[in-house]
Chain A
């Protein structure tokens, strides 16, 4: 009987009935109806503004703070209702903020300091009544609004002409911020506009298109052909003023040397090639996802700066990177997740690179506890930084994003050739003699594989069924993956490679 009492006690402790929250868009409208910023409300509730933003875009709060949020929404609703009842209709139908969407946009993209005033105060610039205050200063949010207000005071009948608004020069700092600040970059002891720095990628593409008089295919072929020297020139340009020099020809230990021209060195890159052994009965729809620009993203990794130095002992220094001889731990989750070491059949110690070792160490830590820590026997390492190729990566990523947005296939192909060939020839390749860093090549590839492993882990963590993990960028999952990974062509997004079904329908097996 005591069991039932415990259950009764538990049920009694829960709130009688959870008040249903209004739909997400109403939550936002209620807050904005009171002219409150997200930061203000978040402070009162004791949560972060981004959490509140999550609640306003569909997520539901839980726990005690849910009750507080419900209370806030109820009170806000009543206040808005009472205000609309008492307020005279004339100022409320001001064209600028009559529609709730308008004010919502302003609150959304202009930060937290924007407050809607209950009583209009004179604008800082034109002196006419303004409905909003930015950083405590009442002002009109738009030049057009400012001008119409000053020319036709208190007659909000004619909405401002958008063309006229565009032609007017930006008068307020608000507008200046809106039409786009001028991004600047450091140059020597001065600063200069980012647009003044030479855009090597854009210039090369423009020159190639001009040379082949707009023949897209010929221009693409020519650009792909010169991708390696261009990537090296871009690397040099992005390292200007950098803290570390790119050391291109260090001494390399024998484990990183190819024994013959076509032989392989001793480094294990942990390339995944894994298929789930069993699936539950029934028919499943599998989606093959493709990670965009895997090697481009993998350029952000801990790279050894200088010459590799030898050390022994089971110790990992987080400030260094290189290659390590380890005895890998046993992996017991092969039924649901791939081995982070890839498909290695041979037992015993092996040389792995920094990303693989860091992945194993992280998985063996208290947060995940998926395996034992690997045992490190010896290492060749050097002081490491993640920022060595960071500007290079950002330049390529920006060019890639811009090319995708503009549908520019020439630039897209060129950028793709640049980063993929840069990675594949930075070792002992005769196609790129400017850079002899086989260690970087292995580390960047391993980072791509480790990134893919984390994607698989994330899918597993969010309740998807991981079916296959292959190569650099292929992930096969069962389930609603759109809730986990955004779809698109950006580097943080995935695209569908294939959709296929596995297994047989149980009805069919019952009635053959």
Chain B
């Protein structure tokens, strides 16, 4: 049995990569600002978050928000409003900085002093697959003890790194781990 799917979805199976589901769940746990950046309220909240301290501003600059202080002040005062491209940059910088800030605490909660966190893996959706081609893929749970690499890859936005770190963990599911390369959702608490 191949461990990596070569042509996923050929017969109608639906799902997302396991590491994407993990990233989604980590994003949900990180708790971003709910109001979209296109609304004035959401924009201001993000700008305040990114300009709260000099350190925060430095991190925002590193994360790609390369604008002058004058521009930032004008945005905050409402004299000018950011262009569409800049709105995207603000959103991207906000998410990066927020991830970096949250990562430390999230990691501690997920590792739970070595006890780890129980992860639920909900298998891919086969409802659109022809009956003879459907396979029994069960709901599985797994206790992940070391989250360091996963959280690190997530906080830096390293997709390939997150994939590798996640596959390193789900290998513990046993020989059928390839069935869980694509999933519906991955659930865990922190």
Contact = CB atoms under 8 A, between A and B. Distances in A.
Interface of A: 245, 247-251, 260-261, 306-307, 309, 433-434, 436
Interface stretch (B48-56, B146-154, B182-190): B182-190
> Closest 3 interchain pairs by CB?
A249-B187, A433-B189, A251-B185
A307 B184 contact: yes
B122 A251 contact: yes
A247 B189 contact: no
B187 A250 contact: yes
A250 B29 CA distance: 15
Interface string B18-44: 000000010001000010000000000
A356 to B, nearest CB: 27
Interface string B160-190: 0000000000000000000000001101111
Nearest to B188: A249
B139 interface: yes
Given A245-B139, A249-B120, A251-B185, 13 more contacts: A248-B120, A249-B25, A249-B189, A250-B120, A250-B122, A250-B185, A251-B122, A251-B184, A261-B34, A306-B139, A307-B184, A309-B127, A436-B187
B15 to A, nearest CB: 11
Nearest to A249: B187
A124 B29 CA distance: 71
A433 B190 contact: yes
A199 to B, nearest CB: 24
B141 interface: yes
17 contacts: A245-B139, A245-B141, A248-B118, A248-B187, A249-B187, A250-B122, A250-B187, A251-B185, A260-B34, A261-B34, A306-B139, A307-B122, A307-B139, A433-B29, A433-B189, A433-B190, A436-B189
A242 to B, nearest CB: 14
Interface in B85-135: 118, 120, 122, 127
A433 B28 CA distance: 12
Contacts of A260: 34
Nearest to B119: A249
Contact of B189 (A245, A306, A307, A434): A434
A23 to B, nearest CB: 62
A434 B189 CA distance: 5
B34 A249 contact: no
Contacts of A261: 34
A249 B139 contact: no
A261 B34 CA distance: 9
A428 to B, nearest CB: 10
B104 to A, nearest CB: 18
A247 B34 contact: no
A340 to B, nearest CB: 33
A251 B120 CA distance: 11
